[in-house]
C-alpha cells in the first residue's frame, strides 16, 4: 500500500486547529484590553529643562549615587526624522537607562513634531541655532566649558558637523550608525545594502517639498520598509500570530510599532538641504560643505571620537560610517563594532550588554 512520506492525521489537524483557535482568542483578549498607556515608550524619568519652537531638551534623573556621576554631561542627538524614543524604547531596552547606570549625566534633544510654518528651517537654523543654543544651555547649567555628544544616525552626522565647527564646546564625540560618507557602500555591496541612499539620490525632493511642505512621516516610513519589503511589510506581521497569547511579548512588539509609525514629518527645507548636500553631494567628506557661511573641514575635528557601527546594518552600511576615520584630524579615534542591525544597536539584547558600557568606559578613560 502506498503511503505519503508526511503523515497528516485528522486528530493532529484538530489539535492544531484547537490550539490556534485558543491562541487567537487569547490574542483578541490581549489586543482589546491593552491601552495606549500599556504601550508606553520613552518612559525613563526626566525633566524638560529647555524648550524653544517645539524643540525640547530632557535631563534624565540619575540612577546612581551622586559620587559616581561623571562631571562631563552627555547630550544625545537623535535624527530629525525619527522619534527620540528609540533611545528609550522600554525599561529593559533603553540606551538612556544603560548610560545612566554607567554614571553618565544624560541629556537628550527631542526635535519634536514640526509645524507647517517650520518647513522653512535650514541646516544652518538647526546647527548654528537650536543645536548651539542647547549646548550653551547645558554648559551654563552645569558650569562647564565643554560637554560630550552622542549622535544617533542622522543626528550623528549633525553632531559631527557641530563638533567640527565648535571644538571649543565639545569634549568627546560618540557616533552610532552615523552616515558620514554616503558613497562608501557602493563598492561590492549587496543589493539591499544602502538601498535607502540609492532611492534618496533618485527622489525628486524638490517636488516632494513643493507638494507637502514638510515631508510626511508616512512617506519616509514607506521608503524605510521598501529597503526590506517582505520582512517589514509581511514577515513580521505573520510572525505576530506566534506571540498573540503572550501579553508581554505583544507589548514589546507594539512598542516598536508605535515608535516606527509615530515619528515626525521631515522639515521641508532641512530635508532638501540634507539630501542635496549630504546624500547626493557627499560634501562632508569632500570638504565642500558649508553651514551658515562656515566651511566644515573634518581635519579640524581633533577631539576624541568613538565611532560605533552595526555589522549587519543595511540602512547605513558600515563603510559609510567608518569612513570618518580617514578624514578627521583627531589622534584619538576609536571604532567599535556590534553584531546587530541599524535599530538593533539600540533595542537588541546584545546591545544592552555592550553599547553603554563601551561608551562609559571610553569616556572615563578620557577624563569625563
Pairing between β-strand 333-338 and β-strand 290-291 as defined by DSSP bridges: unpaired
Main-chain dihedrals φ then ψ at residue 291, nearest 5 degrees? -130, 120
Find where cell 553603554 sits. 356
Nearest Cα residue to 147 out of 89, 72, 203 = 72
Q: 153 catalytic, yes or no?
A: yes
CA pair distance 357, 85, nearest whole angstrom: 20
| DSSP conformation class of 297 | -
CB 342 within 8 Å of CB 315? yes
Report the alpha-carbon angle 344-347-348, nearest 5.
Answer: 60
Dihedral sign for Cα 22, 24, 28, 30, please: positive
Q: How far apart are CA 129 and CA 179, in angstroms?
A: 22
From 127, 149, 153, 291, active-site residue: 153
Catalytic residue numbers, as ranges: 153
Amino acid at each position: 500500500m502506498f503511503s505519503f512520506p508526511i503523515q497528516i492525521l485528522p486528530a493532529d489537524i484538530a489539535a492544531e486547529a484547537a490550539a490556534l483557535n485558543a491562541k487567537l482568542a487569547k490574542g483578541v483578549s490581549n489586543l482589546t484590553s491593552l491601552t495606549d498607556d500599556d504601550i508606553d515608550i520613552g518612559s525613563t524619568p526626566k525633566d524638560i529643562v529647555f524648550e524653544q519652537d517645539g524643540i525640547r531638551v530632557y535631563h534624565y534623573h540619575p540612577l546612581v549615587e551622586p559620587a559616581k556621576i561623571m562631571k562631563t554631561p552627555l547630550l544625545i542627538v537623535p535624527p530629525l526624522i525619527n522619534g527620540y524614543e528609540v533611545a528609550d524604547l522600554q525599561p529593559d531596552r533603553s540606551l538612556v537607562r544603560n548610560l545612566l547606570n554607567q554614571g553618565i549625566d544624560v541629556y537628550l534633544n527631542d526635535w519634536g513634531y514640526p509645524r507647517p510654518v517650520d518647513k522653512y528651517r535650514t541646516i544652518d537654523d538647526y546647527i548654528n541655532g537650536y543645536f548651539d543654543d542647547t549646548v550653551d544651555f547645558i554648559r551654563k547649567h552645569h558650569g562647564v566649558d565643554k560637554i560630550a555628544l552622542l549622535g544617533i544616525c542622522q543626528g550623528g552626522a549633525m553632531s559631527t558637523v557641530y563638533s567640527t565647527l565648535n571644538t571649543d564646546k565639545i569634549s568627546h564625540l560618540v557616533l552610532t550608525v552615523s552616515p558620514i560618507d554616503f558613497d562608501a557602500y557602493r563598492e561590492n555591496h549587496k543589493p539591499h545594502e544602502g538601498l535607502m541612499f540609492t532611492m534618496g539620490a533618485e527622489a525628486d525632493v524638490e517636488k516632494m517639498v513643493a507638494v507637502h511642505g514638510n515631508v510626511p512621516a508616512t512617506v519616509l516610513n514607506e521608503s524605510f520598509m521598501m529597503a526590506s519589503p517582505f520582512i517589514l511589510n509581511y514577515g513580521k506581521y505573520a510572525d505576530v500570530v506566534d506571540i498573540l497569547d503572550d501579553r508581554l511579548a505583544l507589548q514589546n512588539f507594539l512598542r516598536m510599532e508605535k515608535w516606527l509609525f509615530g515619528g515626525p514629518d521631515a522639515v521641508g527645507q532641512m530635508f532638501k538641504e540634507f539630501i542635496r548636500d549630504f546624500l547626493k553631494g557627499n560634501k562632508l567628506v569632500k570638504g565642500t560643505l558649508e553651514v551658515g557661511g562656515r566651511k566644515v573641514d573634518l581635519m579640524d575635528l581633533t577631539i576624541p571620537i568613538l565611532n560605533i557601527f552595526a555589522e549587519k546594518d543595511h540602512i547605513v552600511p558600515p563603510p559609510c560610517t567608518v569612513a570618518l576615520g580617514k578624514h578627521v584630524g583627531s589622534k584619538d579615534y576609536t571604532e567599535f563594532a556590534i553584531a546587530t542591525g541599524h535599530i538593533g544597536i539600540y533595542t537588541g539584547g546584545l546591545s544592552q550588554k555592550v553599547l553603554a558600557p563601551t561608551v562609559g568606559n571610553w569616556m572615563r578613560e578620557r577624563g569625563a
